[in-house]
């Protein structure tokens, strides 16, 4: 098959690895991390990318996104079917689906999750230049301390930065999801360092590439991958089903 | 209505130091705490809410105004307590079980407090049982549930069901909110209302409680 893959940057190393081993021809488009924080903009942005690929004669467009805070809800397939993982987010995808994730989540409250992608492309200090900055109308959670001080002054800027990052104090543990990618060891070290810095207990679980492999290899009939036929729209479904196409 | 311009401006401009100083000065001049709240603080927070709705203020301005309001309240609350005075509306708010995000919840709590409601903030990762106990102990008029993740949103339903099972659902209005929450989801789980912003949440409480919250 000839496939287009539009993926979140968080899956970069995983997808590069799987695509390299695939028998299909896959054109890869990587979108910077952070769309999930953009609310309704995520849907609009992804629909534009899907529409841009729709006329290129692909057999399907693979999406390296899950429900992602409802960011994929409402995406419509044009002439080309869409295929995406049935999970709430990247953590669920890399833990092998929502049921696996939920079982762990219920037993481990207060957990901050990291994956190779999260540690490589996102940092806890928000020091990286945030993506989509040009379209961001106002300062908020993804702003750096420097930006907030520049806008609001030293005292108010520091207060705001503390407010936006205060939620991190509620976490008690960091769980690193280990995956069979080249960056795994380096990512694990960074995750361990982050846990130490925050005073969080470090744990590691073995993740799985199974759902992404099914996506790339055209194994779309199982329950953990959703095929969106031409003209159909993605709907969110609370509970294990997560996503559906109508 | 006796508007204290200094308190009003300090809150509107998000200046906590000025809010404190202005409140101190007003109290020293003989102003009644409840009057300061009703005639200066509430209109200021109302104006903040309107500026947010028309996209002149954003989340940082809400946080700064909230801080200024709270600084003023630090002086007023003990005086109200000593005089046995209570707010007409009591609200319980919390982020649901499994969810540790709180910035939206904090802003809603702030706007509600600034609107003259008594707010009991249960924090984050609040179990259904804890919500039920808080309702039993405090007899609130409103329970606000917050969630930021689709994986934790479902705890909103289990919380509402727990209130039902405990026999206290009928005595409260339940509002839900948070990025992945929708008005449709609110209806599906039996909530009384949904708002996608803090200012809207305050208006919803006023609408649902009528004269009590006026």
Interatomic CA distance for residues B101 and A170, integer angstroms: 8
Of B98, B103, B180, the CB nearest to A109: B98
Same-domain pairing of A82 and A107? no
Spell out where A99-143 has E strands.
111-114
Rg (CA), chain A: 18
- Give all domains of chain B, ordered by start, each with its CATH number: 5-82 (1.10.1240.10), 90-213 (3.40.50.280)
Query: Minimal CA–CA distance to B106: which of B48, A34, B114, A111?
Result: B114
Same-domain pairing of A122 and A185? yes
Query: Minimal CA–CA distance to A215: which of A8, A74, A19?
Result: A19
CB within 8 Å of B197: residues ≥ 6 apart: B52, B53
DSSP state of A36: G
Task: Categorize the per-residue pLDDT at B57 as very low, low, confident or very high, splitting at 50, 70 and 90.
Answer: very high
Number of Cβ within a 10 Å radius of residue B2: 11
Cβ–Cβ pairs < 8 A, chains A and B: 74
Task: With both helix axes pointing from N to C terminus, report the angle between B42-53 and B198-209 in degrees, rounded to the nearest 10.
Answer: 120
Q: With contacts defined as CB-CB under 8 Å, which chain B residues touch A69? A: 148-150, 179-180
Same-domain pairing of A108 and A184? yes
Same-domain pairing of A12 and A101? no
- Residue A170 located in a structural domain: yes
Same-domain pairing of A67 and A14? yes
- Residue A150 located in a structural domain: no
B54 at interface of A, judged by CB pairs closer than 8 A = no
- Residue A234 located in a structural domain: yes
How far is B120 from chain A, CA to nearest CA, in Å? 19
Query: How confident is the model over A7-17, as pLDDT tens digits?
Result: 999 999 999 99
Interatomic CA distance for residues B1 and B8, integer angstroms: 13
Same-domain pairing of A25 and A101? no
Same-domain pairing of A99 and A185? yes
Q: With contacts defined as CB-CB under 8 Å, which chain A residues touch B108? A: none
Q: Please tell me the predicted confidence (pLDDT) of residue A121.
A: 87
- Residue A159 located in a structural domain: no
Same-domain pairing of A104 and A181? yes
Chain B: residue nearest A38 by CA? Answer: B179
Query: How confident is the model over B76-132, as pLDDT tens digits?
Result: 999 999 999 889 999 999 999 999 999 999 999 999 999 999 999 999 999 999 999
H or E stretch covering A64: strand A60-64
Query: How confident is the model over A186-228, as pLDDT tens digits?
Result: 999 999 999 999 999 999 999 999 999 999 999 999 889 999 9
Answer yes or no: are the C-beta atoms of A119 and A191 closer than 8 Å: yes
Interatomic CA distance for residues B83 and A241, integer angstroms: 55
- Residue A157 located in a structural domain: no
Same-domain pairing of A103 and A197? yes
Same-domain pairing of A66 and A130? no
- Residue A148 located in a structural domain: no
pTM: 0.91
pLDDT in tens, chain A (246 residues): 999 999 999 999 999 999 999 999 999 999 998 888 877 889 999 999 999 999 999 999 999 999 999 999 999 999 999 999 999 999 999 999 999 999 999 999 899 999 999 999 875 444 444 455 544 446 666 678 998 999 999 999 999 999 988 888 899 999 999 999 999 999 999 999 999 999 999 999 999 999 999 999 999 998 899 999 999 999 998 766 688 888
Interatomic CA distance for residues B78 and B148, integer angstroms: 33
CB contact under 8 A, A69 and B151: no
Provide the domain limits for residue A70: 2-89+209-245
Q: With contacts defined as CB-CB under 8 Å, which chain A residues touch B52? A: none
Q: With contacts defined as CB-CB under 8 Å, which chain B residues touch A70? A: 150, 179-180, 182
Same-domain pairing of A98 and A202? yes
CB contact under 8 A, A140 and B59: yes
Same-domain pairing of A101 and A190? yes
Say how many residues make up chain B.
214
- Residue A126 located in a structural domain: yes
CB contact under 8 A, B63 and A105: no
Interatomic CA distance for residues B167 and B161, integer angstroms: 10
- Residue A154 located in a structural domain: no
How far is A162 from chain B, CA to nearest CA, in Å? 11
ipTM for this model = 0.90
How many structural domains is chain A composed of?
A: 2
């Amino acid at each position: 098959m000839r496939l287009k893959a539009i993926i979140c940057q968080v899956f970069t190393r995983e997808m590069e690895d799987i695509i390299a081993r695939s028998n299909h021809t896959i054109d890869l488009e990587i979108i910077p991390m952070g769309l999930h924080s953009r609310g309704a903009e995520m849907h609009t942005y992804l629909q534009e990318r899907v529409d841009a690929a729709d006329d290129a004669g692909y057999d399907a467009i693979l999406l390296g996104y899950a429900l992602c805070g409802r960011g994929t809800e409402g995406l419509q397939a044009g002439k080309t079917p869409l295929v995406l993982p049935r999970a709430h987010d990247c953590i669920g995808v890399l833990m092998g689906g929502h049921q696996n994730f939920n079982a762990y989540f219920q037993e481990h409250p207060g957990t901050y999750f990291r994956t190779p992608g999260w540690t490589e492309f996102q940092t806890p200090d928000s020091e990286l230049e945030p993506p989509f900055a040009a379209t961001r109308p106002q300062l908020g959670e993804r702003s750096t301390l420097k930006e907030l001080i520049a806008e609001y002054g030293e005292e108010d800027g520091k207060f705001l930065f503390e407010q936006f990052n205060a939620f991190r104090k509620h976490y008690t543990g960091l769980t690193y999801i280990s995956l069979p990618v080249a960056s795994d060891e380096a990512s694990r070290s960074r995750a361990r360092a982050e846990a130490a810095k925050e005073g969080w207990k470090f744990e590691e679980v073995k993740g799985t590439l199974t759902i992404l492999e099914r996506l790339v290899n055209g194994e779309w009939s199982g329950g953990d991958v959703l095929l969106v036929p031409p003209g159909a729209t993605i709907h969110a479904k609370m509970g294990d089903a997560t996503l559906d196409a109508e | 209505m006796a508007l204290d311009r200094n308190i009003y401006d300090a809150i509107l401009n998000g200046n906590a130091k000025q809010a404190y100083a202005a409140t101190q000065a007003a109290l020293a001049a003989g102003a009644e705490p409840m009057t300061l709240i009703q005639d200066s603080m509430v209109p200021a927070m109302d104006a903040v809410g309107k500026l947010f709705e028309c996209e002149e203020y954003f989340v940082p301005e809400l946080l700064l105004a909230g801080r200024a309001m709270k600084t003023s309240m630090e002086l007023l609350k003990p005086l109200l307590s000593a005089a046995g005075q209570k707010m007409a509306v009591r609200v319980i708010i919390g982020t649901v079980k499994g969810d540790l995000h709180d910035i939206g919840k904090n802003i809603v709590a702030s706007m509600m407090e600034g609107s003259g409601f008594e707010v009991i903030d249960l924090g984050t990762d609040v179990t259904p049982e804890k919500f039920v106990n808080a309702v039993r102990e405090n007899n609130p008029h409103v329970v606000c549930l917050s969630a930021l993740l689709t994986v934790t949103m479902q705890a909103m339903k289990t919380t509402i069901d727990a209130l039902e099972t405990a026999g206290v659902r009928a005595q409260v209005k339940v509002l839900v909110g948070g990025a992945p929450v929708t008005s449709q989801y609110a209806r599906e789980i039996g909530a009384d209302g949904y708002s996608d912003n803090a200012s809207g949440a305050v208006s919803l409480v006023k609408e649902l409680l009528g004269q009590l919250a006026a």
